[in-house]
Structure 1
Amino acid sequence: MTDASVTSPLVRTTRLATAYRRLLATADAPQYAAEVDEHYSPATLASLLCRGDVELRRAAAMALGLLGNSRSIEPLGRALCDVDRGVRLVADDSFRGLLLRDAAPTHHQQLLKVMHLTDGGEFAAALAPAMIVADQAPRYAEAHFQLACCWHGLEEPEKASEAYAACLWRCRFHYTAWQGWARCQIIAGDFRSAAAALQRCLDINPDLECARAQLRAVRRRMRRSDV
Structure 2
Amino acid sequence: MDSLVTAPFVRTTRLTVAYRRYLTSANSPQFVAEVDEYYSASTLASLLRRSDVEMRRASALALGMLGDHRSIESLGQALSDPDRGVRLAADDSFRALLVRDAAPRHHQQLLQVMHLNDGAEYAAALAPTMILVDQSPRYSEAFHQLAICWQGLDDIPQAEAAFRGCLWHCRYHYLAWQGLARCRMLEHDYEAAISALRRCVGICPDVENARIQIRVLERRLRQTDA
Runs of 4+ in 1 over 2 A off after TM superposition: none
Unpaired runs of 5+ residues, structure 1, are: 1-10
- In the other structure, the counterpart of 1:6 is none
Any residues of structure 2 matched to 1:36-115 within 5 Å, and which? 36-115=35-114
Show the 5 A alignment for 1:1-227: 14-227=13-226
Counterpart AA for 2:211 = R
CA distance in 2, matches of 1:96, 1:198: 19
Match of 2:3 in 1: none
Structure 2 residue identity aligned to 1:16: L
Q: How far has the Cα of 1:168 moved from its partner?
A: 0.3
Number of residue pairs matched? 217
Q: Kindly provide the amino acid, as one letter, of the partner of residue 89 in structure 1.
A: L
TM-score between both structures, scaled by the size of structure 1: 0.94
* CA distance in 2: counterparts of 1:217 and 1:125, whole angstroms: 34
One-letter amino acid matched to 1:223: R
TM-score when normalising by structure 2: 0.94
Unaligned runs of 5+ in 2: 1-8
The CA distance in 1 between the partners of 2:199 and 2:221, in whole Å, is: 18
| 1:161 positional shift | 0.3
| One-letter amino acid of the counterpart of residue 134, structure 1 | V
Q: Deviations over 1:95-128 (max 9, x none)?
A: 0000000000000000111011111110000000
- Which of these two proteins has the greater Rg computed from alpha carbons? 1
Distance, in Å, in 2 between the alignment partners of 1:101 and 1:220 is: 40
